[in-house]
Each structure stands twice: as C-alpha cells, then as structure tokens.
Amino acid sequence: MNATGAPPRPAPGPSRVYHFPRFERLTLQNGLSLVVAPVAKLPVVTVLALVDAGAACDVPGREGVALLTARALAEGTARSDGAELTERFERLGTALDTSTDWDSTALRVTVTPARLAAALTLLAEVLRTPRFPEREVERLKQERLAELLQQRAEPRGLADDMFGRFAYAADSRYALPDGGTEATVSSLNRDAVAQFYGARYAPGSTTLIMVGDVSADAARTIAAEAFGDWSGPAVPTIAVSDRALRSTRAVHVVAKADAPQSELRVGHVGVPRRHPDYFPIIVMNAILGGLFSSRINLNLREAHAYTYGAFSSFDWRRAAGPFTVATAVRSDVTDAALGEIMLEIERMRADAVTDGELSLATSYLDGVFPIRFETTAAIANALASVVSYGLPDDYFDQYRANVRAVTAADVLRVARVHVRPEQLQVVVVGDPDVVREPLEQRALGPVYVYDAEGRAIG
C-alpha cells in the first residue's frame, strides 16, 4: 500500500504454454492440397479455398480481371443461377466471402459442423463449374467502376492507390490498384474472365483449408468427395516486377479542393515477404510506427496533436510490397507533419533504439501471438499465408522465438538497409492552395500536382 492506499501495480504471474493449432497437410491425387486444423472450441468450421489467382496474375492491359473473376464465380453454375447460389449459401447460415489480394484469391465460408458437407459441396460447385453469365459479369464490372468512381472523393483509398502509382515503375503490376483502374476494368468482358479462370483455377493451384470443429479424417473424406474428381491444367507461377519508378525523393500533391485534412503516404518499395530480415523488420517497424506507443504516433498525435493517428507498415507480398507511413493531418500543418515524419525516419537510422523500446516491441509481438488466433477465421488466414508464401510448416511454432531473438543492433541494421530517406515518395491528398507553397519551401523534393484521376496539373 502506498500513500493513497492504492494497491501497487501487479507483476505478471507464470505464463501458460500456447501452441499454434496442430494442422495436417495432404495432397489429393489430382493435386489439390488440403490443410486441416481441428480446433474444438465453439461449434463452427471455417473453410478457406485458396487459389493461386491473385492480382499479380492479371494479364497486362486487363488489370482487375483476377478480382472480377473471383467475384463472378458465384454468379452462375451448371446447376444454379447467381440468385439461387446466394440463396443456397445463405440458407446454410453462411455468406460466401470472396477476396482477392496480390498473391491469391480466397473463398471463405464459416458454418456450423452439421452444414459443413453441404457447404463444401456448394463451394466445389462454384469453384469447378462457374458459367460466368454475360449479364452478371457486366453488372459486377459496373459495380467495380462505381467503386472506382467513389474512390475519387474518398481521400484514404485515393492516397493508397496514388502511392502505388508513384512508387512503382509503370511496368510493375504494383503500380496500379489490385482491382484495376477505370481504363483497364472498362476493357474487361465475359471472355476475359472465362479465359482467366481457365488459366488459373485448377486443383494444382488450389488449397483447401479447414479449421474448427471437424476431425482430420472427416475433413479428408468430404474434401475428396467434393473435389476428388476435379481436373485442370498445370498452372505456372507468375513473377511480379517490383521495380521502383524513381530513385530520388519527390512530393506528389493530389488535389482535393477545400480539404480540411491532408491524407499523407510517405514511403518506397519495401521488402518481399520471404526476406531473411523479416523478423528484425517487423520489430523495427513496431518501434517506428507499428504500435500506438511508436515514435511516429507519439510524436504526431500525442506531442503535436497534428492527427488522430499515424502509423507505418510494410505491406507483405511475394515480391516487394511498399513500406509506408500513413496519416491524416490538419491541412495547415501538412509540411510540419512531414518534417516530423522525416525526422523520425532519420532518427531510426541514426542511433540504436533503447532497451525499453526494443523490449516493448518484442514483448508485444511475442505476447499478443495467441490473441491473434482466437477465431477459426484468423487461424485459416494464418494457414493461408503459410501456403501462399511457402513458409515452413513450423513457421508459427518458431515465430515467438524469432521475435525474441531480435537485438537493437539488428533493428539499426535493417533500418539503415530497408528504410531509405532519399528515395521516399510523398503523396499528399489535400488542398494545393494551402499545402503547395509550404511544401516547396520545405524542399523535400520536387513538388508535382495532379487531379483525382492522376493527371498532372502543375
């Protein structure tokens, strides 16, 4: 007890052991991979069908076809039209959730165990026998164009997309949004979708992940029943160029008249997912801008009150995704906020982090590990990353030891190698009348001004 009678801050008790769920891997005769993690907690099972058909596989000029194909899968099969398919899934208490990222397309359903076999049969029907009716493909294309239109008025998504364009060389797939642009999406049609499906969807490029209240034996049996006689072509792996557009710093202002805030993205081409520096990089990023108590957030939010929040991240992809600092700041402090971001980036490279900073980052990443995998969906996503990036089967068993092994010297080394101030591209979605002159005076690099479609206007 202290002066006010309050009990002292408690120390932690002994920690309990945690293992990432055991999982089994096997391959059906037709080449389809199966990953099963039995987790008996609540009566649900998540099924995730992972297909090597991400945006990185888009055909040049047809960027967005991977996404459109994924969305069109459940719009009609040999047996049912799209409305019926939706109804058949939803009567099982699940909605088919389809997503496409750079490296893969994932189809997810979560169902109670009694409905698992029926859900898997339906999932197989969608993956194996899509018809891609012209009317529905055209409708989904128009819906995607509506998203792109709305994005022009939405500063966060606009800043992300523009950053890709200014960071990556024009011949890199990463220069354009993963769902394509208005020009490329407009060029898509039913045939482009059917062609993409034929080239990328096959048992050999598909992994079925099942997590939850199901035994490995039962999972194997129903997977074999639903997918065992599926056949398809061999699917080649696609390599993506991750070349940068510029080697010197530049500032890109995307005009949004009268914006009360500037959306900022500051970064450059980062590091591929399977880089040997992965663990020191995630620790370094946690200290720089990955946590609430990171340097960038405490500076921009808590010391200067420029923003509601400021964070940094490495976007992990098979090839090198971007490293970015992202925040939204009051328009009249845009240049000052950028100055502080630059300062924190330089400081990260100048001196070793303190013991306190290092231990905060490593003990957070180590300690939060079990909390990341509370749900069947989260475990399925984690297993999907093992498959998609070709990580070792014991990756999650070694994860915490790998985090704890990172030293302050490692952090300094990776900051100096993987964060390069002279190459930073700065994107500001904001009011050029307010931000342009101060940005020029701050001399971060040449200042270019664009409209919301990315056309140079100054």
Partner 1 sequence: MRLPIDTFRLPNGLFVTLSEDHTAPLVAVNVWYHVGSANEREGRTGFAHLFEHMLFQGSEHVGANEHFELVQRAGGTLNGSTWLDRTNYFETVPSNQLALALWLEADRMGRLLPAMTQQKLDTQRDVVKNERRWSVDNQPYGTWWEKLPALAFPPRHPFHHSLIGSMEDLSAASLEDVAQFFATYYTPDNAVLSIAGDFDPGEARRLVQEYYGAIAAGTGRPPLPSMQLPPAFGEWRREVVPDAVMLPRLYLAFRSPVFGSDAYYAASVCGAVLGMRRGSRLHRSLVRERQIAAEASAFTFDLPKGSDLLVIDVTARPGVDAEVLEREVAREVDRLRVEGVTDAEVERAVALIETDFITAMQSAGERADKLSMFATYFGDPRLLNDQVDRYRRVRAADVSAFARERLGPDNRASLLYVPQENDAERAAAASLAATGT
Residue closer to partner 1 (CB basis): 376 or 388:
376
CA nearest to 265, candidates 172, 344, 341: 341
What is the three-class DSSP state of 428? strand
Scanning residues 261 to 280, which ones bind partner 1 (CB under 8 A)? 261, 263
Decide if 256 contacts 155 (C-beta within 8 A).
yes
For residues 138 and 18, give the distance between their C-alpha atoms in angstroms, rounded to a whole number: 49
Per-residue x/- mask for partner 1, residues 224 to 253, rule CB under 8 A? ------------------------------
| Shortest Cβ 205–partner 1 spacing (Å) | 26
Residue closer to partner 1 (CB basis): 364 or 448:
364
Distances (CA, A) of 297 to 302, 308, 341, 344: 7, 9, 10, 10
Residue closer to partner 1 (CB basis): 235 or 365:
365
CA nearest to 282, candidates 167, 372, 383, 343: 372
Per-residue x/- mask for partner 1, residues 298 to 327, rule CB under 8 A? x--xx--xxxx-------------------
Burial 64-98 (b: 16+ CB within 10 A, else e): bbbbbbbbbbbbbbeebebeebeebbeebebebeb
Residue closer to partner 1 (CB basis): 155 or 445:
155
Residue 153 backbone class (left: φ over 0; alpha: ψ -120 to 50; beta: rest): alpha
Residue closer to partner 1 (CB basis): 152 or 275:
152
CA nearest to 91, candidates 71, 76, 111, 75: 111
| Shortest Cβ 292–partner 1 spacing (Å) | 5
Scanning residues 69 to 128, which ones bind partner 1 (CB under 8 A)? 82-83, 86-87, 89-95, 110-112
Decide if 419 contacts 323 (C-beta within 8 A).
yes
| Shortest Cβ 8–partner 1 spacing (Å) | 8
CA nearest to 265, candidates 232, 296, 311: 311
| Shortest Cβ 396–partner 1 spacing (Å) | 14
Question: What share of residues in the chain are helix, strand, coil (percent, to 5)?
Answer: 45, 20, 35
Q: Of 25, 152, 220, 404, which lies in the binding site for partner 1, with binding defined by CB under 8 A?
A: 152
| Shortest Cβ 298–partner 1 spacing (Å) | 7
| Shortest Cβ 158–partner 1 spacing (Å) | 11
Scanning residues 323 to 382, which ones bind partner 1 (CB under 8 A)? 328-330, 359-360, 363-364, 366-371, 373-377
Residue closer to partner 1 (CB basis): 206 or 334:
334
Q: Of 61, 233, 236, 260, which lies in the binding site for partner 1, with binding defined by CB under 8 A?
A: 260
Residue closer to partner 1 (CB basis): 60 or 356:
356
Stretch that binds partner 1, among 120-128, 196-204, 241-249, 295-303 (CB under 8 A): 295-303
Give residue 433's Cα distance to chain centre. Answer: 34
| Shortest Cβ 281–partner 1 spacing (Å) | 19
Number of residues counted as binding partner 1 (CB under 8 A): 81
User: Would strands 206-212 and 33-38 be described as parallel, antiparallel, or unpaired?
Assistant: parallel
Scanning residues 11 to 70, which ones bind partner 1 (CB under 8 A)? 11-18, 41-44
CA nearest to 130, candidates 49, 47, 57: 49
Classify residue 366 by burial, with Cβ atoms within 10 Å: 0-12, 13-18, 19+: middle
Scanning residues 158 to 217, which ones bind partner 1 (CB under 8 A)? 182, 186
| Shortest Cβ 275–partner 1 spacing (Å) | 25
| Shortest Cβ 90–partner 1 spacing (Å) | 4
